[in-house]
Structure 1
Amino acid sequence: MPSPTPLTLDPGADLRQLLTSVRETLAADTAVMLLVDATGAVLEPFASSGLDVTLRTGARVPIGRGFAGAVAGTGRPVVLDDIDAGEVVNPVLRRRGIRSLLGVPLVRDGAVFGVLHVGTLSQRHFTADDVQRLTDLADEVASWFADQSLAEHHTAARVLQRSLIPTLPPSIPGLDVAGRYVPAEGDLGGDWYDVFALPDGRVGFVMGDVLGHGLQPAVVMGRIRSALRSYALIEPSPARVLQMLDRKISHFEAGTLATVLFAVARPPFDSFVVSSAGHWPPLVADGRSPATAVALRTDTMLGLLPDRTRTDTVVPVPEGGSLCLFTDGLIEQRFGAEQAVDPDAGLAAVAASLAASRTAEASCVAVLADLIPEHGTVDDVALLVIRREPT
Structure 2
Amino acid sequence: MTTSQDQPTDAPADPTVDPAVDFASVDDVRERFSEAGYLVDERLATTVFLQTRLDKPVLLEGPAGVGKTQLAQSLAQVTGRRLVRLQCYEGQDETKALYEWDYGKQLLYTQILREKIGQIVEDTSTIPEAVDRIAAQDSVFFSDKFLAPRPLLEAITSPEPVVLLIDEVDRADEALEAVLLELLAEYQISIPEIGTVVAEHKPYVVLTSNNTRDLSAALKRRCLHLFLDYPDAQRELEIIASKDTGLSETLATRLVEVVRQLRELDLRKSPSISETIDWARTLAVLGVSELSAEVLSSTLNVVVKYERDLARALREVPALSDPNAEVPDPSGHGHGHGHGEGHGHGHDEEPKRPPSPPRTPVVDDEDDLGGPSGKEKRASKDQPGRHDEAYYGSTSSPGRSPGSRSVSSSQGARSFQGTRKRPL
TM-score above 0.5, yes or no: no
Structure of higher CA gyration radius = 2
Structure showing the higher strand proportion among its residues: 1
Higher relative contact order (CA 8 A, sep 6+): 2
How high is the TM-score relative to the length of structure 2? Answer: 0.28
Structure showing the higher helix proportion among its residues: 2
